[in-house]
Structure 1
């Protein structure tokens, strides 16, 4: 038997009164009886009971158990006899003594809480030096890493000094301190060492060379994107610089290599040739035979459209209101756990409901959209771009190299019609025309969530002729100032943000098309995103188009396509179409589309230069055939006037091909 160490003497014995062990290591002290009527006291471990309580009070609190040597005296159990004693009168317990340890002052004394003390304390920043940070696998050794780090820091310091000495409006914010420069160099060197372990030396040398050639504007963009991230909000929607490798007035020489061939795109919605009169008659007969019944473009319900309001109730359509989801269904990406959890179901992002759920948005009428070229021509005939010997010039007084345009559409009793047309010059982005359009049919829904056109815009619109007459009365600008925008144009913010500058309005889609064609010739490149929709709603067949859907194809091919918002963010680093339910702005979309073509032109020029093309006096020269005679003059791509001057003679191309084969 081991001797007790007193570790268990404060724990009551589990056997209690039935314990037969002489030297039990547990406690057998008598505890006072619990008074249920007394107020609740804190737990025993939170205070120390008074040791000077009257022993008699303890003894009379419960029946007393005494050791009995004779089992015949009284009621004996396991050698113990319980003796019932009379209960004493209820007495008030003595007050508890406050321990001296609780009365001692705290050292140091506590400070009063302050606003700054409520937050977690931050450790002071450790000041770093130009000493490479330790990583698990050193790619080049401490000596070489230190040398590369000093070169990297030196180029960053040079660019930083140029910002400090320049006249940038935010020079004080964008200028880095010495510690920030060291940290930026250490971060970039460490990232290169970790991510490019095997080719560390080559990558870091290329980065130093790039910093030597970097312009101050590019360094400012890098600082805002990596170090001064909080300044991105102040930058707003500032267009980052687009480097095409050519001056702005020479970027058009690459456009012939970007022109889209429409011959194989008819099945994807393009109408390269206007439908004939027989096609139009056939389409009208089919509509009459169907009694003007259509399928709703939103909820897919079948309904009937009236040319004029019904006499009984003034309705334009039948089958009641339309309930639909304005967002397209979305299916989450597959995961490995789908085999256990089950496949994911498609949901609508607009309301997070499943695919078969009822619509979350309601419209008063059903709407429909016509995509067939013959049916479109039955409402408004298509035309080819007319020959224009004297096309209108841009606001800067120069001949247009290309035109970027974008349209906004709404629903009417005639289908999906044009309600706003915007055109800008390329590559400058000057606004040429921006007008509202009265559709041919009665308006059912302006489609504001996507078009951005509201009823207030129509009510505040000024007729285009009046706007042109008012602009004609304005005094001419002083010499050297910017050329004012053309009548019916705006280079400022959208109308929904500028109520004092209403858009002009034209009487019909035909009038809007005439405005657009006044800037075009059949050889003028017409740029757009998903341009078949814009051309169809304008009813125009243009032979020279550039579509960003074709320039930036989807990996799965047509009909899959990337959205303009995503392409602009990916390639230009710019956010557009951020209005939410306020809709899009066709002026913003047109300029973004033109900038995407500028970016594509720069990429195509780099590829052509790798293939041997050269620049000579503002012309793009194809590679000479090996060992062949010099080619005649004038075959350079970019010589002459307009896009016609930029095309290579077909016979000369055949001759070059034969020379290469030989």
Structure 2
């Protein structure tokens, strides 16, 4: 477009001498006083002013264009007599030069300065007064020699130019531009305004109650409120992209119910986090001190063993299934044609153990869309008859919403809890006697499972000593069926770990092999490569070599782990039973919730919500062991109030 405008300078102005436009784009006689030579963009651009009498102001002439577009005849323009001064002539030259500069600026080309003007070391702003600056430069140029070459000043080495930081531009309630937007712009604007409204309300209420300087320092200005709103919205849009709508709506709802005291706590934590200080409300993790020795704790933990009688209704297996029951279970699976119900989306599909011959598929009915998170109950709304909403932890979506899941997997999966069908793949076995196991041993136990063509199978087994938490056994397990989904979100086992793991053989050491890693954020255990045992039966044999029927087996939700390994153990200490839910079984508290509530410790922490790394079975086994130690401490305190004492290293009742 700049080239088209420049071409108009070769055409006479249609208005002729009646033209009143400022810096007209067409040709006039006055333009002949100056010539602009523009060459190729790769060559320097020269601006030459024709020599004129500095003591006389030439009258301006216009060119009249007739209808036949013949050669124009110059017509003298009648002008009023003006006083001719060198300053007026110089100003006219500057106008001509600036019109050329404007044209060149549109081409993103830097024109040279006119003759007699001193180069400047810094560019001028768009709104700077050109005439005032030119007068100062003209006074300097008059004192200099006309023939002296004009050069730009060269910065001296070692001297830094003063780069004063420009003030930050104020922001408005307009969502920031992201590489990938989680929602439409109109939706984001509405949510941003709603969030800002709640922040402004809480800030105003805090302002009314702020009396001391400490409270006044927590107040936010109007611009700071906008920045905080945009920061929080941007963080949710990036880190919680898939659940952006639910995340920001939950934040708005929480702010509506938030009290001024809670808002003050948030502002205090944010202020201290900005200053790099620790919050006063952050209490340290609780260190459990039982007052007993290790041998006394192991002896005391036998009091916490839960009998298996009465627990069969909640998934525990107390007896080995018979051969007849196993045969009936196999016949029922064959009669159904291996049609299962998806454990995640509840759709029916067909599974093909050994793969389907036509196309090698493992399952039918396409992909699976589901919610990977478990249920939780939110806060009750206002009103006497209101109830707590049931939501998903993964995206905080209501259970009754019909918008579908938030995650998609390639295949459907299933699991079975029928003991007879579990035994059809590998029958249960009772823990055999083992004289080689120390009498004073108690162990923490945890397993991880993945989905295969035979259901939910064992893929990792971990055993740690109690109460010190030393690892006794930690191996990956090759399942019997073809893998459909390793359930990495919860198991923590990745396909890469299964493929690259060292194969274990009988007689080899089962301990993990150390792997070099430059990642300093990982613990030494996370840097180790676990070995892969060939089958769940081999993993169970390794477990039997380290426990006996009298060895307390400590864990959280032990029925799932016991059924995965297919064992029946008489000495189980389950933290689900030690810390029951107030509504009773089958409802239970999660291990993560119990650790945070009772011991103020965080486990199963994910660095990225979009890419969860899964659980660490060794961490879960130790966490369950700490909860058991807490129960030992509390129960021992109760017995001491009742008169129980330690005598010769043994716990004896009162009166003994």
| Band the TM-score falls in, shorter-chain normalisation | 0.5 to 0.7
User: Match for residue 369 of structure 2?
Assistant: 323
The correspondence for 1:551, drawn from 578, 593, 600, is 578
Q: Matched residue of 1:411: which SS?
A: strand
Pair 1:591-2:622 in alignment: yes
- Structure 1 residue 501: deviation in Å? 2.4
- Structure 1 residue 370: deviation in Å? 0.7
The correspondence for 2:647, drawn from 599, 616, 622, is 616
Moved more, 556-565 or 253-262: 253-262
User: Match for residue 345 of structure 2?
Assistant: 299
Pair 1:427-2:467 in alignment: yes
Pair 1:564-2:591 in alignment: yes
CA distance in 1, matches of 2:212, 2:460: 58
CA distance in 1, matches of 2:591, 2:493: 19
Question: Could you state the TM-score of these two structures normalised by the residue count of structure 2?
Answer: 0.54
Pair 1:441-2:465 in alignment: no
- Check whether the contact 2:298–2:440 (CA below 8 A) recurs between aligned residues: no
User: Match for residue 335 of structure 1?
Assistant: 381
Q: Report 1:124-143 matches (<5 A).
A: none
Q: Matched residue of 1:462: which SS?
A: coil
CA distance in 2, matches of 1:500, 1:550: 34
User: Match for residue 606 of structure 1?
Assistant: 637
User: Match for residue 298 of structure 2?
Assistant: 252
CA distance in 2, matches of 1:297, 1:496: 33
Pair 1:351-2:395 in alignment: yes
Runs of 4+ in 1 over 6 A off after TM superposition: 113-116, 122-126, 489-499
Pair 1:270-2:316 in alignment: yes
- Structure 1 residue 333: deviation in Å? 2.9
Q: Report 1:421-500 matches (<5 A).
A: 421-465=461-505, 469=508, 487-488=511-512
Structure 2: gaps spanning 5 or more residues: 1-163, 170-210, 216-275
Pair 1:574-2:601 in alignment: yes
Change (3 A) 1:599 1:500: closer
- Check whether the contact 1:269–1:532 (CA below 8 A) recurs between aligned residues: yes
**Cα RMSD over matched residues?**
3.6
Change (3 A) 1:494 1:287: farther
Q: Report 1:43-62 matches (<5 A).
A: none
Change (3 A) 1:502 1:528: same
Change (3 A) 1:333 1:500: closer
- Check whether the contact 2:512–2:528 (CA below 8 A) recurs between aligned residues: no
Q: Report 1:274-285 matches (<5 A).
A: 274-285=320-331
CA distance in 2, matches of 1:321, 1:300: 13
Q: Matched residue of 2:324: which SS?
A: helix
The correspondence for 1:411, drawn from 434, 451, 457, is 451
CA distance in 2, matches of 1:329, 1:125: 41
CA distance in 1, matches of 2:505, 2:512: 9
User: Match for residue 245 of structure 2?
Assistant: none
- Structure 1 residue 115: deviation in Å? 11
Q: Matched residue of 2:299: which SS?
A: helix
Q: Matched residue of 1:615: which SS?
A: strand
Q: How many residues matched?
A: 385
User: Match for residue 511 of structure 1?
Assistant: 538
Pair 1:229-2:291 in alignment: no
CA distance in 2, matches of 1:336, 1:230: 32
CA distance in 1, matches of 2:361, 2:552: 44
- Check whether the contact 2:380–2:389 (CA below 8 A) recurs between aligned residues: no
User: Match for residue 61 of structure 1?
Assistant: none
Structure 1: gaps spanning 5 or more residues: 1-112, 127-226, 394-398, 472-485, 625-629, 631-662
- Structure 1 residue 228: deviation in Å? 7.4
Partner deviation per Cα, 1:428-466 (whole Å, 9 max, x = no partner): 110001110000100000000010110111122112349
Partner deviation per Cα, 1:215-234 (whole Å, 9 max, x = no partner): xxxxxxxxxxxx9735999x
- Check whether the contact 1:437–1:507 (CA below 8 A) recurs between aligned residues: yes
CA distance in 2, matches of 1:407, 1:293: 27
- Check whether the contact 2:306–2:574 (CA below 8 A) recurs between aligned residues: yes
CA distance in 2, matches of 1:415, 1:276: 21
- Structure 1 residue 306: deviation in Å? 1.0
Change (3 A) 1:326 1:615: same
Q: Report 1:171-186 matches (<5 A).
A: none
- Check whether the contact 1:429–1:591 (CA below 8 A) recurs between aligned residues: yes
Change (3 A) 1:239 1:332: closer
- Check whether the contact 1:495–1:502 (CA below 8 A) recurs between aligned residues: no
Q: Matched residue of 2:543: which SS?
A: helix
- Check whether the contact 1:434–1:489 (CA below 8 A) recurs between aligned residues: no
Partner deviation per Cα, 1:135-163 (whole Å, 9 max, x = no partner): xxxxxxxxxxxxxxxxxxxxxxxxxxxxx
- Check whether the contact 2:489–2:614 (CA below 8 A) recurs between aligned residues: yes
Partner deviation per Cα, 1:605-625 (whole Å, 9 max, x = no partner): 11122222221111111233x
